[in-house]
């Protein structure tokens, strides 16, 4: 790992730095420490000079090896590998910040943006996107932004309290086809920001949550789609959730958190 990257990350204002290869054993502890106002540094870096910076600085940069706790914008127009990212947040405004960046980046690139969430979040996010500038407002006027009710979206693919492996791809395919309709652009991508998995987890339906993330993962590898899933850290209060939490992280191409 490039220590210069780690040093630069710690200078960006976050509260911890976690090496991605250590996520299985350290990620849950890292989030708990940061939520309690402590700094966190992966054990393999703890003996280095970086350790003195953790309490006053932190990480808001991610490369191929590291997971940080950023509030930096996520690219919504990547062209390499699958893009199925997860953002754990301690406050709704932080989730809306990163969702706005994620979706506005897609709109600015000429792509399509989709938000699947609660009524309050949909309304606030639309207001934020309008405030981003004239280009974003024009994109919304062109129909390149779609806001959907999470509860209704979930009901379209559930069977016996589990996401149906046959219905889900059809529902998402119909969504993508509808979102792309009327947009003439080669190599068009669709950026989808969703709260659906979090809503299932908040209801205590861990198996359904993992199944849904696995299905989103399949979409990310078979469609020209970038996906960002949002989870409130309130769902991590119980220690028994740690196993599910780790499984959720494993289903994503990148993990982000903000406090």
For 236-256, the pLDDT digits (tens) are: 655 456 788 888 989 999 888
Higher pLDDT, 162 or 20: 162
Minimal CA–CA distance to 203: which of 170, 162, 165? 162
Determine if residue 217 is left, alpha or beta; phi over 0 gives left, psi from -120 to 50 gives alpha, anything else beta. Answer: alpha
- Cβ-Cβ contacts under 8 Å for 52 (sequence gap 6 or more): none
DSSP three-state, residue 87: strand
Residues above pLDDT 90, as percent of the chain: 47
- The gap from C-alpha 169 to its chain's centroid, in whole angstroms, comes to 20
Max Cα-Cα span within the chain: 56
What is 71-258's CATH number?
A: 3.40.50.300
What's the pLDDT at 258? 80
Q: What is the pLDDT of residue 167?
A: 97
CA distance 98 to 123: 15
R_g (Cα) of the chain, nearest Å: 18
- Contact at 8 Å (CB) between 193 and 99? yes
Which residues are registered as beta bridge partners of 88? 231, 257
More confident call, 79 vs 193: 193
| Residue 2 pLDDT exceeds 50 | no
> Which ranges in the chain are annotated with CATH 3.40.50.300?
71-258
> For residues 192 and 82, what is the distance between their CA atoms, to the nearest angstrom?
13
pLDDT tens figures, 114-157? 999 999 999 999 999 999 989 899 999 988 999 999 999 999 99
pLDDT of residue 225 exceeding 60, the answer is yes
Q: Of 41-45, 46-50, 196-200, which has the strongest mean pLDDT?
A: 196-200
Sign of CA dihedral 8, 22, 15, 204: positive
Mean of the pLDDT values across residues 15-34?
67
Note the pLDDT of residue 71: 36
Closest CA to 191 of 208, 175, 214: 175
Looking at residue 81, what is its pLDDT?
60
In the three-class reduction of DSSP (H, G, I as helix; E, B as strand; rest coil), residue 74 is classed as coil
On the question of pLDDT at 12 being above 90, the answer is: no
CB 156 within 8 A of CB 171: yes
| Helices (H), ranges, 109-205 | 119-131, 134-141, 150-155, 167-180, 196-202
Q: Is 186 exposed, middle or buried (0-12, 13-18, 19+ CB in 10 A)?
A: exposed
pLDDT digits (tens, 9 = 90+) for 171-191: 999 999 888 887 777 778 999
Please, what is the average pLDDT of the chain?
78
46-70 as b/e: b if 16+ CB within 10 A: eeeebeebbeebbbbbbeeebbbbb
């Amino acid at each position: 790992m490039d220590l210069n990257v780690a040093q630069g990350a710690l200078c960006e204002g976050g509260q911890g730095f976690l090496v991605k290869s250590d996520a299985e054993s350290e990620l849950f502890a890292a989030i708990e420490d940061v939520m309690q106002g402590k700094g966190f540094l992966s054990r393999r870096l703890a003996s280095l000079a970086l350790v003195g910076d953790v309490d006053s600085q932190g990480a808001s940069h991610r490369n191929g090896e590291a997971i940080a706790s950023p509030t930096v914008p996520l690219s919504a127009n990547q062209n390499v590998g699958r893009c199925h990212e997860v953002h754990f947040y301690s406050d709704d405004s932080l989730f809306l910040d990163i969702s706005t960046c994620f979706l506005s980046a897609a709109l600015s690139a000429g792509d399509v943006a989709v938000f699947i969430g609660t009524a309050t979040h949909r309304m606030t996010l639309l207001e934020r996107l309008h405030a981003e500038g004239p280009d974003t407002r024009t994109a919304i006027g062109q129909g390149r932004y779609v806001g959907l009710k999470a509860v209704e979206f979930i009901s379209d693919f559930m069977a016996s309290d589990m996401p149906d492996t046959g219905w889900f791809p059809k529902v998402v395919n119909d969504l993508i086809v509808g979102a792309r309709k009327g947009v003439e652009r080669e190599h068009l991508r669709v950026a989808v920001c969703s709260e659906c998995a979090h809503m299932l987890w908040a209801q205590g339906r861990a198996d359904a949550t993992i199944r849904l993330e696995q299905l989103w993962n399949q979409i990310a590898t078979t469609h020209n789609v970038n996906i960002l899933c949002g989870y409130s850290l309130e769902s991590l209060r119980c220690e028994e959730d740690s196993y599910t939490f780790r499984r959720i992280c494993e289903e994503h191409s990148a993990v982000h958190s903000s406090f």
